[in-house]
Amino acid sequence: MKALHFGAGNIGRGFIGQLLHQNDFEICFVDTNADLIRQLNQDGGYMIEIIDENETTDFVDQVSALNSLTETEKVITAIEKADILTTSVGANNLAKIAPTIAKGLSQRFEKKRSINILANENSINASDRLKKAVYEELTDQELAVFDHYAYFVNTAIDRQSLGKIVEGKAIAVVEPYYEWVINRQQLDPTTPFELKNVVLIEEMQPYIERKLFIVNAAHAAIAYLGALKGYQTIQEAIRDPEILTDVKQFLAENQAYFVEEYQFEPAALQCFIDKTLKRQSNPKLSDEIARVGGSPIRKLGPNDRLVAPVVKLDALGLPHETGVKIIAAGYHYHNADDAEAESLQASIVEDGLEATIKKISDVNGALLKEVIVAYKTQQ
């Protein structure tokens, strides 16, 4: 079987690629990094280092790669031949790959061959987002065909995946833990294979929100609180007792939302939170705050990891004071090497804090005032 995966970064190789390999797929990566593409084609695979007690390694073989910038026609042909199409390009980049995917699928569907399309990004219902971008490329006639043959399947992913260069080779460095949750109901009913080492569920929303409002939210909270104190890595920041206390309280607030909204069992959810913080404090990792805190405008969006749970808690009349504090810390985030961070700070200077928060987070009323007060307190 053949898998076509857009995005040969650390998540693509260290997580999705490894699991596709475990499911006996040959993998063709699509990327724009010419050096990495050359490496994958020369070696026919790549190395993964797993940060466990045994320092386990894994070599993923039966791998090839294509450059989406210079080999578009080959990518389109690969889409026609693939048995599954997956992505991990970053939610903001889905629109960029949509035109090529639309062309490839259009040619594929002429042969009446359906396919599952799984966008594995750190955002809610990323496959729906990719579908929207792809459908914007279609004619009215093509829309009906795509509705029949294209199965966009929402997922939730969880694994810390970093990278390093050793003797000129890119190596994915990952934690042992992973979770790939897939919406069983959205899969093509004629799919000829059953994926192993994944979690197939009927209702995605609770799992997507659990990942976003616990795992991603904790990571971002550590990053933005850590940046306020001048720390360079997540592992340094989480060792600060004040930061750890705030993050635990933030997650306790979010925990109350899951208990109220989805009737999660509190003890099981607390175990999940404890495991999350243990993973993120792993001393064998050195995860830069600049990476985790990057793209703050997206992460401060109304449907993302920081603002969304606070808004939901506010609507339910539940405590959310620490969440407000962490949103405010996000609005303080500076990084001269991050275009979004600089744009965020420029907006605060030019338009004012209140207008910026309204524009980015779509927060108003009492909650807006709470964020502004917290921001000024942190100043």
Residue 315 has a pLDDT of 97
Residue 32 has pLDDT above 90, yes or no: yes
Q: Which of 160, 182, 201 is the last residue in one of the domains?
A: 201
Q: 337: buried, middle or exposed (CB in 10 Å: 19+, 13-18, 0-12)?
A: exposed
Strand ordering across the sheet containing 57-61:
57-61, 45-50, 169-174, 161-166
What is the spatial distance between Cα 205 and Cα 190, in angstroms, rounded to a whole number? Answer: 24
Q: How far apart, in Å, are the Cα atoms of 208 and each of 103, 120, 123, 240?
A: 29, 11, 8, 29
Residue 54 has pLDDT above 90, yes or no: no
Name the residue with higher pLDDT: 124 or 63. Answer: 63
Beta strands in 32-114 (DSSP E): 45-50, 57-61, 63-67, 84-87
Which residue, 288, 286, 274, 293, is CA-closest to 175?
A: 286
Residue 132 has pLDDT above 90, yes or no: yes
Residue 284 has a pLDDT of 82
Q: Are residues 51 and 149 in the same domain?
A: yes
Q: Are residues 248 and 173 in the same domain?
A: no
Q: pLDDT tens across 66-115, in order?
A: 999 999 999 999 999 999 999 999 999 999 999 999 999 999 999 999 99
What domain count does the chain have?
2
Q: Which amino acid is at 165?
A: I
pTM above 0.85, yes or no: no
Q: From the CB of residue 43, how many other CB atoms can be counted at a distance below 10 Å?
A: 13
Q: Are residues 117 and 210 in the same domain?
A: no
Residue 55 has pLDDT above 90, yes or no: no
Name the residue with higher pLDDT: 379 or 296. Answer: 296
Q: Are residues 195 and 299 in the same domain?
A: no
What is the spatial distance between Cα 74 and Cα 360, in angstroms, rounded to a whole number? Answer: 39
Residue 208 has a pLDDT of 87
pLDDT-based confidence at residue 53 (cuts at 50, 70, 90) = confident
Q: pLDDT tens across 235-277, in order?
A: 999 999 999 999 999 999 999 999 999 999 999 999 999 999 9
Residue 122 has a pLDDT of 82
Q: Are residues 187 and 219 in the same domain?
A: no
Q: Are residues 121 and 244 in the same domain?
A: no
Q: Are residues 53 and 124 in the same domain?
A: yes
For tokens 């192993």, name the residue. 196
Average of per-residue pLDDT values in the chain: 96
Q: Which of 166, 201, 236 is the last residue in one of the domains?
A: 201
Residue 176 has a pLDDT of 93
Backbone angles phi, psi at 364, to 5 degrees: -140, 180
Quick check: 204 and 167 in contact, CB under 8 A? no
Residue 10, domain CATH = 3.40.50.720
What is the spatial distance between Cα 207 and Cα 210, in angstroms, rounded to a whole number? Answer: 5
Cα 231 → chain centroid? 23
Residue 36 has pLDDT above 90, yes or no: yes
Cα 228 → chain centroid? 24
Residue 59 has pLDDT above 90, yes or no: yes
Residue 306 has a pLDDT of 98
Q: Are residues 289 and 329 in the same domain?
A: yes
Name the residue with higher pLDDT: 13 or 207. Answer: 13
pLDDT-based confidence at residue 123 (cuts at 50, 70, 90) = confident
Q: pLDDT tens across 323-348, in order?
A: 999 999 999 999 999 999 999 999 99
Q: pLDDT tens across 162-185, in order?
A: 899 999 999 999 999 999 999 999
Q: Are residues 33 and 95 in the same domain?
A: yes
Residue 355, domain CATH = 1.10.1040.10
Residue 174 has a pLDDT of 95
Residue 310 has a pLDDT of 98
Q: Are residues 82 and 216 in the same domain?
A: no
Q: pLDDT tens across 305-326, in order?
A: 999 999 999 999 999 999 999 9
Q: Are residues 91 and 138 in the same domain?
A: yes
Q: The domain containing residue 314 runs over which residues?
A: 205-378
What is the spatial distance between Cα 64 and Cα 113, in angstroms, rounded to a whole number? Answer: 23
Residue 46 has a pLDDT of 98
Beta strand pairing call for 2-6 and 26-31: parallel
Please give the share of the chain, as a percent, with pLDDT higher than 90.
94
Q: Which of 201, 228, 262 is the last residue in one of the domains?
A: 201
pLDDT-based confidence at residue 62 (cuts at 50, 70, 90) = very high
Q: What is the mean pLDDT of residues 295-312?
A: 97
What is the spatial distance between Cα 292 and Cα 224, in angstroms, rounded to a whole number? Answer: 9
Q: What is the mean pLDDT of residues 204-213?
A: 91
Residue 129 has pLDDT above 90, yes or no: yes
Residue 133 has a pLDDT of 98
Q: Are residues 123 and 32 in the same domain?
A: yes
What is the spatial distance between Cα 346 and Cα 359, in angstroms, rounded to a whole number? Answer: 13
